[in-house]
Every structure is written in C-alpha cells, then in structure tokens.
Amino acid sequence: MSQKKSRSRGGGGGAAASGDDHEDLARPPPLQAVLLADSFTLKFRPITLERPKVLLPLVHMPMIEYTLTWLESAGVDEAFVFCCAHSHQVKEYLDKAGWAGKAGAGSMAVTAVESHDAISAGDALRVIYDRGVIRGDFVLISGDTISNMSLKDALQEHMDRKKKDPFAVMTMIIKHSKPSILTHQTRLGNDEITMAIDPETKELLYYEDRADNSHLYVTIDKDILTNNPTLQLHNDMEDCYIDICSPEVLSLFTDNFDYQHLRRHFVKGLLVDDIMGYKIYTHELRSGYAARIDNFRSYDTVSKDVIQRWTYPMVPDVVSNRDCSESRLRRQGIYVASDVTLSHSAQIGANSVVGSATSIGDNCKVLNSVIGVGCKIGKNVFINGSYIWDHVIIEDGCKVSNSLICDGVHLRAGAIVEPGSVLSFKVEVGKNVTVPAHSKVSLLPQPSNEDSDEELEYADTNSGVTDSPPFSSMRSSGDQAIVPSEEDESGTSETGTCGVVGYIWTSADTGILEEWRQSIAPIPKEKLEELERAVSDEDGSEDESNNLILQDKDDSSDSVVEDDDHISKFEKEVEETFQRAMGGGVNRDNLILEINGLRLAYSLQHADCAGAVFYSIMKSALVAAQSTNNTLLKTTGEALVKWKDLLRNYTKTVDEEMEILLKFEEMCQETTKEFSPLFAKILPFLYDTEVVTEDAILRWAEEKENADESDKVFVKQSEDFIQWLKEAEEEDDEDEE
C-alpha cells in the first residue's frame, strides 16, 4: 500500500514537471533575478511618501505582484527583491502574499534584500554584489514592470552570444512602439529614445533617452559611424527596462562607484567610455507585452492595456491575489466583481473595473475607470478615466475625471476633481469644493528640503519628513482654504464645508507647464493644437524626426532656414547705413567700405550686396516721393543717377546685374508694391544709367520665359523694351559683320 502511495505521488509530480525537465537540462545554473522594489525617483510623490511604489495597486493588484508572477512564469528559480524605502511594507507584503519563504519544487524562491542607505539603482546593485548571492546570469527588472513575454528566446540569445563573445554582458529587451509626433513622447509618457543598433548583431551602439526635442537632430560619435558599416537608428523603440545581465554587470557597478542610474550612467557609460570592450545587445520583443510604469501617464496607459487584456493571463478576471470575490468580464471590457451593489440606473461604461463590496448609487456614470474594493459611491456621481483605490467614499453629485484617488479618500457631496489630480491617502474634500487640475493633495506636507536632483530622493522619505509640519510649504490655491491635517474628527468636520483636508503640493521640479506630459489626464485639446501648429511650422523637419536622417543632412537643411533670416538682417543693416549716408555725413568711399565690411561680417556674395544696395536706393526714393506715380518715377530716377556709382561697385558681372533685376521684381511683387506699375518705365532707365546691361535684361527675360504666369507679369510689362533691345542687338551683330 505504501509503495503504491509513493508511486502515485511520484507519478503526479513527475508528469507536472516533465515539461520543465528539458529546459533544466539546457540551462544548468538556476536562473536568478534581481527585482528592484524601489524606483529611486519622485514621480509618484506624494503617494510614495506613505506606500512604496511597487505596492501601489494597478487594476486591483500591486505592481510587484505582476512582476513576481511574470518572473515565476518565465522560469526564474530565485528572485532577490531589493527593498529600500518602506522596506518593512514590502517585506510584509511578500510574507502575506506567500512569496517569501516559498521554496517548493517548481516555484520561485523569493528573498528580500534590505538596505537603507541605497539611493539609486547603482547602490542597490552594489549591495547585491556585496551579498555575493548572484552566481550566474540574472534578470534585472524593477518592481513596477508589467510583462507577459517569454524569456526563453532572449535568454537563449544571451547565452549563445556569451559563449562566442564573453564581453557581451547585457541583453536589453526593447519593444516596437511609435512615439507621438506631437509630443515626442512614447505612449508611456517617457521621452522618446534614440537608439543606434547594428542590424546584424543587434548590438546597441548608441542610446539617448533625454534627447532634446527642440533640435530635432542627434549627435553620434564619428567612430560609431566609421566602425560600423551599417547601423539602424530607431526612435520607435521602447525600452522595457528588462535586462538579462551577466555577473560582470554587478562588478562593473562596483568598480565604477559613481554609476547611479541604470541607463543614464551604466548603459551610456559602457557605450561611450568603451570600458574593457564590454558590449550591450538588444532583443526586440515580437510577441508579448512589456512596459514599465514610470509616471502617472504610464500608470494610466498600462492600466488600460491590462483591461484590454494585452497582459494576458495577467488580467483582472484571471488573476486576483486577494481573497476578494472573483470579477467577471462582461462585454466591452467591463469587469465587475460578483458582490457589487449596483443601482439599476447606474451606468458602467466600457473598459471599467469595479472591485468587490463596492456600492454604486443611482444615476452614476462610470467610464474608463478602475474602482477598488469597498468603495461607496453616492448618487449622480460621474467618474471618467479615473483610478479610485480601496474604501473611498464619494458622496452624491461628485464629479471625478482623469484623476488618481488613493485609499480612504472622502469626497463630500458636490466635490469636483479636475483632470490630472492626485489625492493621496485619506484626503478629504469638502462640499462643493473644486480640486483644480493637476493638483496633488496629501495629508503629509511637502518636504521643504526639495532638491532638484531626482536621483537622490525617495529613499529616506519615511523618516524625518513627517514629524515637522512646515506650514510654510502650504500653498493656498485660488480662493479655497486649506487646512492642515488633523488627526481628530472635530478638525475635519470643521473644515469639511470649506476646503480640503491635506496639503496641496506645489509641483516639484517639473513645473506646472510640463505637468500635462506625465499626468493621468489626456493632453488638453488646446495643448495638442498648439503642438500641432508647432509641428506644421516646422514642416519639412517633421519628416526628419520621423525618419531619423543622419546628422549631416539635418545640418544642411538647418542652414537653409537660417539663410533667409541672415539676408534680411543684412539688408536691414545696409539700409540703415545707406540712410545715414543719405542724411549726409558719410563719405561715399566710406559708405562702400562700410557695406563691404557688412558683407564680410555676414559672409555674403557681391550679388547680395548689389541687391541690398539697390533695395535701399529704391526705398529711399519711395520715402522721398510720397505718393503719386509721377513723382515716384522722378525721384527714383534722381536717386538712381545719384547712386549709380555706388551700385556699379557691385555690378561687376552679369550675375550681379541679374540679382538687381530679380530684387527689383521681388520688391514690386512683395515689399513695395508702389513700383509695380512703373516697372516698365524704370527698366529702360536702369539700362540708360548703365546699372544693368542689355545682356542681363535679356537673360532675365529668357529665364522668366519658363516661369509661372504670375512671375511673368513684369516681363510682359516690359515686352516692348525687351523687343527693342533684341532688335538692337541683332543690328549690332549685323553691324559687326
């Protein structure tokens, strides 16, 4: 009997594990992972003052749960969770969710690594290195990454490459994703990344994630171009922030103790400094999903991806970590838990999730939103595009759009939360109070010792800040009264009618202007229109930003744009000089010298000078002549006679004479239309004063023959004169014969 027992048990286990056995043989050392349960940024403040980012719920499940689940299903045997800020909370969660200390066959062992003085990813990896727990290749991921990709291919590629080239230390997972042309952002709200990749080997050659959009060009080291016969430039790739690393990566971090940021310091450092010839490769994700939640915008985007099931099987109706009753998927991506109290007149729109034990009152409207567990929502509430966490009370007639509302928030009747707002834990909003767009409200005051270096924060937040309430950091916005947080009920009720319980934070380092980039709210219409206009102004250069033409081409197009500007400036200066000369004082020779000086300063041709001087002369004539055509003709004649010597200085060749004619034409068409009826009369005059020769006029007429009708107006006007010139020339020719 006992024999039978063991056999049957073994049979059960063996069959379950048989699928994995082959993989085990292929990769002898256990696959390890380092999970950074700390983002080392401030993007999710003020929420992260009270709860670490990785424990923030994303569609009812903490982010770290997605990450751990994925690691386990991707075949990782051992994961090290590095926690720093709020480490006790993270560890508590790992215990509670059953990750820690679970070391059964086939499941992943999770170990928490704690450190309190780490202030960056670099520090975290140095701590991991000191522990000496990483024995082989490992997956480096941060706790806010959502993925369902299969690691097998990427891992295999990494292994194969390493066998051939021991210097291939890292494989970066990237994903195709088109950034918006308007905002130069990925859909996750990050700046678009420019990468240069060798199409053959997939080696990463260049990485820039903070490209300055205003310039629309990238600068790539000449060596990269010379050393690599082919390279692909991408701006349509998204960095998934999932890396497969060799153990050397850890020692590199230890050797270069100034490396803080994974991308900005480590990747760029490796690419630019060429340390020991280490190389980084990329693996493009073909099927599967991966994204990192870096800011509020990506929180919104990834939530929607989860609801739309891109992260399958990590979708609300399949996995639920809590004991809450299962949610059910209805049509149009609506997930409603089975024990939700839903009024018959309440309307739940597409792509919404409602957690269990939540009640929703009459005539409510919920669109594109996630509502947590145990919320109470009153009557006539309108919720759009918002993320409402657990146990939130929203009273009748509230309006919440595109905002993030944390646990325990209380919105009293008629409160309005405008787009982009973030209400942190237990904030209360009074009756009929409007929380202005993009405001961040927390019970904790904003730390006053804000320094702009975002790398160096987040870690030490759970101590030192909370115990000194700096009233100076309270900013009142508009007409509403803000009362500091008070623990007792009397305080809150007192302020309940007039404002918000909590501190309204001023936007930290980004400034209110940039707030729209990374908030939950969609970009306002006006902003989009503005950007659209900016793009259409740039016109041709827009194409370049899409296609990523190499730098030299970019430069040339830039210089053309600058050119126009240049010349008009020059003309203006010439005109000013000329006017000074007209007013007397300046000697003619000096005038020529001065104009020559200007020409050299602007590094222009003689022809340009001729045009400019001619323009100035004509302008002066126009100013002197006041209005009528007759006087204008007269004064023009006088001016030309007076200044023809000056002009002749510049009209050495036919080209320059042509320039004068073209300039004259342009003036008639655009700037000084007064001349246009007189064109035919002034042209013979120019000929007579020998400012232009007959060759120039004939060539001008010839050139214009093929032009548009509109351009031919002046040629037609002076047809008689040109005809006469031609005949005269023929006569000359005959004479010569």
Instruction: Give contact residues for another protein (rule: CB under 8 A).
Output: 1, 4-5, 8-9, 11-13, 15-16, 69, 73, 104, 106-107, 148, 175-178, 180, 182-183, 185, 187, 189, 236, 238, 287-289, 297, 300-301, 304-305, 308-313, 315, 317-320, 325-333, 338, 350-351, 367-368, 384-385, 402, 521-523, 528
Indicate the residue among 238 and 571 with the shorter CB distance to another protein. Answer: 238
For the bound state, the minimum distance from the C-beta of residue 632 to another protein, rounded and expressed in Å, comes to 54
For the bound state, the minimum distance from the C-beta of residue 71 to another protein, rounded and expressed in Å, comes to 12
Using alpha carbons, list the distances in angstroms from residue 279 to 171, 260, 302: 9, 19, 31
Indicate the residue among 236 and 694 with the shorter CB distance to another protein. Answer: 236
For the bound state, the minimum distance from the C-beta of residue 149 to another protein, rounded and expressed in Å, comes to 10
3-state secondary structure of 195: strand
Using alpha carbons, list the distances in angstroms from residue 655 to 607, 695, 699: 7, 10, 10
For the bound state, the minimum distance from the C-beta of residue 365 to another protein, rounded and expressed in Å, comes to 13
Q: Which of 679, 672, 673 is nearest to 712 (CA)?
A: 679
Q: Which amino acid is at 355?
A: G
Residue located via tokens 């890292």: 170
Are 94 and 238 in contact by the 8 Å Cβ rule? The answer is: no
Indicate the residue among 238 and 243 with the shorter CB distance to another protein. Answer: 238
Indicate the residue among 13 and 29 with the shorter CB distance to another protein. Answer: 13
Indicate the residue among 163 and 525 with the shorter CB distance to another protein. Answer: 525
For the bound state, the minimum distance from the C-beta of residue 499 to another protein, rounded and expressed in Å, comes to 27
What's the CA gap between 190 and 157, in Å, rounded? Answer: 28
Indicate the residue among 68 and 640 with the shorter CB distance to another protein. Answer: 68
For the bound state, the minimum distance from the C-beta of residue 10 to another protein, rounded and expressed in Å, comes to 9
For the bound state, the minimum distance from the C-beta of residue 105 to another protein, rounded and expressed in Å, comes to 8
Are 64 and 89 in contact by the 8 Å Cβ rule? The answer is: no
Are 424 and 46 in contact by the 8 Å Cβ rule? The answer is: yes
For the bound state, the minimum distance from the C-beta of residue 298 to another protein, rounded and expressed in Å, comes to 10
**CA distance from start to end of the chain:** 132
What's the CA gap between 651 and 610, in Å, rounded? Answer: 7
For the bound state, the minimum distance from the C-beta of residue 319 to another protein, rounded and expressed in Å, comes to 6
Indicate the residue among 37 and 521 with the shorter CB distance to another protein. Answer: 521
Indicate the residue among 332 and 476 with the shorter CB distance to another protein. Answer: 332
Indicate the residue among 198 and 238 with the shorter CB distance to another protein. Answer: 238
Indicate the residue among 236 and 573 with the shorter CB distance to another protein. Answer: 236
What's the CA gap between 20 and 396, in Å, rounded? Answer: 55
For the bound state, the minimum distance from the C-beta of residue 175 to another protein, rounded and expressed in Å, comes to 6
For the bound state, the minimum distance from the C-beta of residue 419 to another protein, rounded and expressed in Å, comes to 8
Phi, psi of 383 (to 5 degrees): -125, 125
For the bound state, the minimum distance from the C-beta of residue 66 to another protein, rounded and expressed in Å, comes to 12
Residues paired with residue 510 on neighbouring β-strands, in sequence order: none
> Backbone dihedral region of 180: left (phi > 0), alpha (psi from -120 to 50 degrees) or beta?
beta
- Outline where 602-709 has alpha helix (H): 606-625, 629-650, 654-666, 679-688, 694-705
Indicate the residue among 63 and 271 with the shorter CB distance to another protein. Answer: 63
For the bound state, the minimum distance from the C-beta of residue 399 to another protein, rounded and expressed in Å, comes to 15
Indicate the residue among 298 and 718 with the shorter CB distance to another protein. Answer: 298
Residues paired with residue 376 on neighbouring β-strands, in sequence order: 359, 393
Q: Which residues contact 163 (CB under 8 A, 6 or more apart)?
A: none
Beta strands in 40-136 (DSSP E): 57-58, 61-62, 78-83, 109-114
Give Rg (Cα) of the chain: 36
Residue located via tokens 């007959």: 694
Are 480 and 496 in contact by the 8 Å Cβ rule? The answer is: no
b/e map of 399-428 (b: 16 or more CB within 10 Å)?
bbbbbbbbbbbbbbbbbbbbbbbbbbbbbb
What's the CA gap between 708 and 695, in Å, rounded? Answer: 22
Using alpha carbons, list the distances in angstroms from residue 136 to 102, 125, 159, 167, 294: 21, 14, 11, 15, 28
Indicate the residue among 318 and 728 with the shorter CB distance to another protein. Answer: 318
